[in-house]
Amino acid sequence: MATPNQLRTTTLALPETAEGSHFGMAAFSVRGRGFASLSEDGRVQLRMPPEQVEAAPAVHPAGERLSRSGRTIGLRVPLAALDGRALHALVRASWRHRAPRRLVAAVDQAEAAATGEGDLPAAIGRPATRALHGAGLTTLDRVAARSEAELLRLHGVGPKTIRVLEQVLAEQGRSLRA
């Protein structure tokens, strides 16, 4: 059973996502375009393309079509009917539907790179790896050319990532740019 906190964590982990409210509901948007909200009665509303909404009942029987002016605009599902994995998949699909194409393409490229080449330590975690790859920093050489402040500005890179990178670079006799 997914929780409102899991919804918040899942949505805010996506690039350029902002939290706000919409008609009294907790709402999430990407570059000003709403993609998910949580109603007071515990149902998550997700903006999705009609073809995904039509396929959803087979996977999420508690889900229902969300329509506006007779047009299918998304899916409404009780949060309690979802597990964490299903929630993540639905939120991600909704974000991809509403995010600008260039942003989606950049995320796809970063994820593809994260599974490919590079010598970044696995200990930094997948969000930091995606953030670094998205910024074109796929190797420790490229990371070492940046300052701590520059790295911390990347969404997904935090103090733990910096500590791990500094430790790995120190073992090689290198450091981040001052």
Q: What is the pLDDT of residues 114-144, one digit of tens each?
A: 555 578 898 998 889 888 877 778 889 989 9
Q: Name the CATH topology of 4-99.
A: Aspartate Aminotransferase, domain 1 (3.90.1150)
In which order are the strands placed within the sheet that holds 71-78? 17-22, 25-30, 33-38, 43-47, 71-78, 64-68
Does the pLDDT at position 150 exceed 60?
Answer: yes
Of all residues in the chain, the percent with pLDDT exceeding 70 is: 96
State if pTM tops 0.85: no
Residue whose structure tokens are 């949580």: 38
pLDDT digits (tens, 9 = 90+) for 61-72: 999 999 999 999
Q: What is the pLDDT of residue 115?
A: 58
Where residue 108 falls among pLDDT bands split at 50, 70, 90? confident
Q: What is the pLDDT of residue 117?
A: 56
Q: How many C-beta neighbours within 10 Å does residue 115 have? A: 10
Helix, strand, coil shares, percent, the chain, to 5: 50, 20, 30
Tell me the sheet residues that pair with 68. 71
Residue whose structure tokens are 């953030």: 131
Q: What is the pLDDT of residue 97?
A: 96
Q: How many C-beta neighbours within 10 Å does residue 95 have? A: 27
Q: What is the pLDDT of residue 105?
A: 82
**Average pLDDT, integer, range 42-61:** 92
**Average pLDDT, integer, range 90-114:** 85
**Ordered alpha helix ranges (H), the chain:** 4-12, 50-59, 84-98, 101-114, 126-134, 140-144, 148-152, 159-171
37 vs 156 pLDDT, higher one? 37
